[in-house]
Amino acid sequence: MPELKEQIVVCGAGGFIGGHLVAQLRAAGATRVRAVDLKPLGEWYQKFDDVENHALDLQGLEDCRKALRGAHTVYNLAADMGGMGFIELNKGLCMLTVLINTHLLMAAREAGVQRYFYSSSACVYAADKQTKADVSGLKESDAYPAMPEDGYGWEKLFSERMCRHFREDFGLATRVARYHNVYGPNGTYDGGREKAPAAVCRKVIAAKLSGRHEIEIWGDGQQTRSFMYIDDCVHGSNMLLDSDFVEPINVGSSQKVTINQLVDIAEGMAGLKLKRRYKLDAPKGVNGRNSDNTLIKKVFNWEPSIRLEDGLEKTYKWIYEQMRKA
């Protein structure tokens, strides 16, 4: 955990991971949390009245300076991003996120920030390592030679290097986690920015509520991924932030499943079987991606361990309640 009595700033606090992080910091006893996001406060997924909440545009340097005034610890979770459907069709917007990390690093250096956490992504990994569904886990070294996801992945990899060089040149204590597909309740599940677990839950629930027992799946359903539940994500992030480990590290589950298997799990929760229609021309990303957790187990004697079946059940129930109310 960070220094809980010092000023902690969570950038991207109105988003999915940021909202859960703020909730966990409060529960741990943090007394000076500043939550910052571009979205108007009424659109935040989680907002707490005992936290200093600000709607600021962190692509601009001046708003970054406002956000980090007096800060001891900074979490940079802010990004213009979404699931594969969003990042494949909005590469320019994803690249502009580089302004957020660049200006936050500049403001952090000016403010004398003691710890700076950056949330990177498995999208930094080289595409030629992810051509087969039966892929081996991606090791941290697989990010180079560089061939990341076009747009979003390049921005993340460049921002990782910015963190490295601000640490080496200016002494800013940066920590970088490469997240692998984070999911859970209190996040987006429709509108185009949702990721696969939330999208699958929404589609299965919609089929159950409507009585139209069919589902559209992007790709052939054989592409593989691993999915990390939000509680593991927050724990791993704080563990890394509080450590002396300075290199980028995987924070992701090593439980690999196909998209078809993900649908199987959601169908089991709904108690039905759906007719599957495969949209082969839809964005589907790489054929296979999984997290190699050798390094995080060696350094921290820990890895994300919440089973997909358990985390997805909580996610499914939350999305079901939102859709039922709507």
Place of tokens 């790709």: 219
Structure tokens at 320: 């079901």
Contacts of 224 (CB under 8 A, 6+ apart): 133, 134, 135, 256, 257, 258, 259, 287, 288, 289, 290
- Contact by Cβ (8 Å): 182, 174: no
* Residue among 45, 8, 44 at smallest CA distance from 25: 8
Letter for the amino acid at 178? R
Q: Name the pairing type of β-strands 214-218 and 275-279.
A: parallel
Assess whether the previous peptide bond of 145 is cis (omega < 30° from 0). yes
Letter for the amino acid at 308? L
- Is 152 part of the annotated catalytic residue set? yes
- R_g of the chain computed on alpha carbons: 19
Q: Name the pairing type of β-strands 256-258 and 224-226.
A: antiparallel
- Contact by Cβ (8 Å): 150, 156: no
* Residue among 178, 312, 187 at smallest CA distance from 233: 178
Q: Which of 125, 152, 183, 189 is catalytic?
A: 152
Contacts of 210 (CB under 8 A, 6+ apart): none
Letter for the amino acid at 211? G
Cα–chain center distance at 65: 24
**Beta strands in 156-287, from DSSP E residues, in sequence order:** 174-179, 182-183, 214-218, 224-226, 228-229, 249-251, 256-258, 275-279
Catalytic residues, by residue number, are 152
